[in-house]
Homo-oligomer: A and B are copies of this chain.
């Protein structure tokens, strides 16, 4: 009897790419450790519903161990990757105030993306992103606080600025957020009527280009705009944001909007963990990879999903979408197994199933397999159905369904809490000093 040494695969990031890579390695002849800063996986397509007080953080987050503990050869470790050494094939993981070293035979990087503010530091300072759970909760708290504060103020301009929200970016995130914000205001602002002036939320969606949802067909683009406007959202096209402060934004046309809430959904870039690799990155921080998903210039390092830069047959980079991340995660895992068994690696073929964006209640646009266009109620119903199927974990699915049904009929928002645990603790500490 001989015992072969099993190869060790480290996967950084438990998003869609990393989790799919790990799943593809279950019960194979490798040992896998999945590493993430958090102990949960996030269902990112519903982040905007956390930001708009429709869903609770725990409803779109799922404990990673609840999945991995069913996978015999996959372990999970919570820690922050602070260094990658591709020469000695080691990682430095920070846990509390200690650094632990982990060796690998193969490394899969799947750390996703973060909000990209380009070269606009004042946008970075005064805007809010919705790329992760913290940002979504921070945005929820901010919006609800602005409304509560508006109640106290007699000054019309202050009040109007408090309830004016500017969303920048005409992609799916911007559209879904704008639509959901409008519905939020319809539902909860009726509770603020006893003040001397009725408070009415104003939502302005700003897009620098000449259309919403750039990759969609013109008919779907037009439908998205119409559906947003029918809700009451103002859609501004061809007018990029040029300036932002705590109290206003300015557009290129010269228009100035007084607002205390600027939501930035206009750009993303590869995770800063790409900088830990000693290879040149492309402009938005992505790591250039071969069609096998191997990082160019490195040995045994695979990069998948939003972090990876790979051109399709038309010379355009694959979009930062969950489907791409999942398929690349699976491919990286498969290629590692092929190398282990001495067969040749496969290259990435994207199976595009299309995309969809919901615009508040009963409204949506969908482009199934990039062939079948859907709008209105049918698109919305497909969106609901598919997102419930995709959502991790039975309990989450059931709770989300209950919330959605409840909101749909009762028009109530039970999760509209302004809850800032760490901040409150800090204040308490200051108070007791």
- Interface residues of A, Cβ cutoff 8 Å to B: 38-40, 56-58, 61-63, 65-66, 68-69, 75, 77-79, 93, 95-96, 98, 100, 124, 132-135, 137-138, 144-145, 148-149, 151-152, 188, 190-192, 194, 272, 393-396, 398-399, 402-403, 406, 412-426, 428, 431-432
Chain B residues lying within 8 Å of A431, measured Cβ to Cβ, are 272
Chain B residues lying within 8 Å of A148, measured Cβ to Cβ, are 39, 77-78, 95
Chain B residues lying within 8 Å of A414, measured Cβ to Cβ, are 58, 62-63, 66, 393, 395-396
Q: Is the CB of B39 within 8 A of A417?
A: yes
Closest to A114 in B: B428
Closest to A395 in B: B414
Chain B residues lying within 8 Å of A406, measured Cβ to Cβ, are 394-395
Report A105 CB to chain B, min CB distance, Å: 19
Report A283 CB to chain B, min CB distance, Å: 18
Q: Is the CB of A418 within 8 A of B152?
A: no
Interface centre among A66, A93, A134, by most chain B C-beta atoms within 10 angstroms, is A134
Chain B residues lying within 8 Å of A192, measured Cβ to Cβ, are 65
22 A–B contact pairs at CB < 8 A?
A: A38-B418, A38-B419, A39-B417, A40-B418, A57-B417, A58-B414, A65-B191, A66-B414, A69-B191, A75-B194, A77-B151, A78-B151, A98-B152, A133-B419, A134-B419, A134-B422, A134-B428, A137-B421, A138-B425, A395-B403, A399-B402, A420-B421
Known contacts A395-B412, A421-B420, A431-B272: does B95 contact A149 (CB below 8 Å)? yes
Q: Is the CB of B395 within 8 A of A425?
A: no
Q: Is the CB of B152 within 8 A of A416?
A: no
Closest to A403 in B: B395
Q: Is the CB of B432 within 8 A of A124?
A: yes
Question: In the complex, what distance in Å separates the CA atom of A425 from the CA atom of B133?
Answer: 10
Q: Is the CB of A58 within 8 A of B152?
A: no
Chain B residues lying within 8 Å of A425, measured Cβ to Cβ, are 134-135, 138
Question: In the complex, what distance in Å separates the CA atom of A31 from the CA atom of B79?
Answer: 54
Report A250 CB to chain B, min CB distance, Å: 24
Question: In the complex, what distance in Å separates the CA atom of A402 from the CA atom of B138?
Answer: 27
Interface centre among A65, A135, A137, A431, by most chain B C-beta atoms within 10 angstroms, is A65
Q: Is the CB of B149 within 8 A of A419?
A: no
Known contacts A133-B421, A422-B422: does B399 contact A152 (CB below 8 Å)? no
Known: A39-B418, A138-B422. 17 other contacts (CB 8 A): A39-B148, A58-B417, A63-B414, A65-B188, A65-B191, A66-B412, A77-B152, A78-B145, A95-B148, A98-B152, A124-B432, A132-B424, A134-B422, A134-B425, A138-B425, A395-B406, A420-B422
Q: Is the CB of B134 within 8 A of A421?
A: yes
Question: In the complex, what distance in Å separates the CA atom of A79 from the CA atom of B135?
Answer: 24
Question: In the complex, what distance in Å separates the CA atom of A415 from the CA atom of B39?
Answer: 11
Q: Is the CB of A57 within 8 A of B419?
A: yes
Closest to A136 in B: B421
Closest to A399 in B: B399
Q: Is the CB of B149 within 8 A of A96?
A: yes
Closest to A195 in B: B75
**Which 10 residue pairs of A and B lie closest in terms of their CB atoms, listed nearest first?**
A422-B422, A69-B191, A134-B424, A78-B148, A134-B421, A65-B191, A395-B414, A137-B421, A58-B415, A56-B58
Known contacts A77-B152, A152-B77: does B395 contact A402 (CB below 8 Å)? yes
Residue A63 contacts which of B57, B152, B417 (CB distance < 8 angstroms)?
Answer: B417
Question: In the complex, what distance in Å separates the CA atom of A324 from the CA atom of B116?
Answer: 54
Residue A417 contacts which of B61, B188, B398 (CB distance < 8 angstroms)?
Answer: B61
Closest to A70 in B: B191
